[in-house]
């Protein structure tokens, strides 16, 4: 069973996000070994300077690196990353499994994204869309797409 790890900056506070995440976590636990790590988001004032944002992202990146498993693939969600179809994600997860890159760790940043150095060190920069979404919603979307990828691999009717 493939190991999948999500490292997320920020906690799901709204009940509707938490309920959606719980549903996909339940579904995914039958298909992979899933672990989700939530890390605290650095607090910034209403209009932080770019330097303050960079320092906050660097602090979050240190916390992320402390939780990264060794030897696995790292996929950073970033708007400047490449997009892919659900089928391509299914193939990519299968390729990671075949190549022994375990676990596959997905990184979801907080309100200001991820540290630039952390993104450069990732194996893959993945964009969910050129549109901007709340990072809480990105987690739900990613969980659903991982679930869909496994459904594609097993040939079920979930993916039409």
Give the span between the Cα atoms of 159 and 130, in whole angstroms.
23
Find out whether 126 and 82 touch, Cβ atoms under 8 Å. yes
Give the span between the Cα atoms of 1 and 154, in whole angstroms.
13
pLDDT in tens, 23-37: 999 999 999 999 999
Helix 135-154 vs helix 86-98: angle between axes, to the nearest 10 degrees? 70
Give the span between the Cα atoms of 137 and 148, in whole angstroms.
16
The reported pTM is 0.94
pLDDT in tens, 36-91: 999 999 999 989 999 999 999 999 999 999 999 988 999 999 999 999 999 999 99
pLDDT in tens, 86-122: 999 999 999 999 988 889 999 999 999 999 999 999 9
At 73 the pLDDT is 95
Find out whether 135 and 105 touch, Cβ atoms under 8 Å. no
Mean pLDDT throughout 121-133?
92
Domain boundaries, the chain: 3-154
Helix 15-28 vs helix 135-154: angle between axes, to the nearest 10 degrees? 20
Interacting residues of 44 by C-beta distance below 8 A, sequence separation 6+: 52, 53, 56, 112
Q: Topology of 3-154 in CATH?
A: Alpha/beta knot (3.40.1280)
């Amino acid at each position: 069973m493939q190991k999948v790890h999500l490292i997320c900056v920020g906690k799901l506070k709204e009940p509707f996000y938490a309920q959606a995440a719980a549903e996909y976590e339940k579904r995914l636990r039958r298909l992979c070994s899933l672990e989700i790590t939530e890390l605290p988001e650095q607090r910034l004032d209403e209009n932080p300077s770019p330097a303050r944002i960079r320092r906050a992202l660097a602090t979050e990146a240190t916390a992320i690196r402390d939780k990264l498993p060794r030897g696995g693939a790292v996929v950073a969600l970033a708007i400047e990353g490449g997009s892919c179809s659900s089928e391509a994600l299914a193939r990519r997860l299968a390729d990671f499994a075949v190549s022994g890159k375990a676990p596959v760790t997905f990184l979801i940043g907080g309100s200001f994204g991820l540290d630039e150095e952390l993104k450069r060190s990732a194996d893959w920069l993945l964009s969910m869309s050129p549109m901007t979404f709340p990072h809480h919603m990105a987690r739900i979307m990613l969980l659903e797409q991982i679930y869909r990828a496994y459904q594609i691999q097993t040939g079920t009717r979930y993916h039409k």
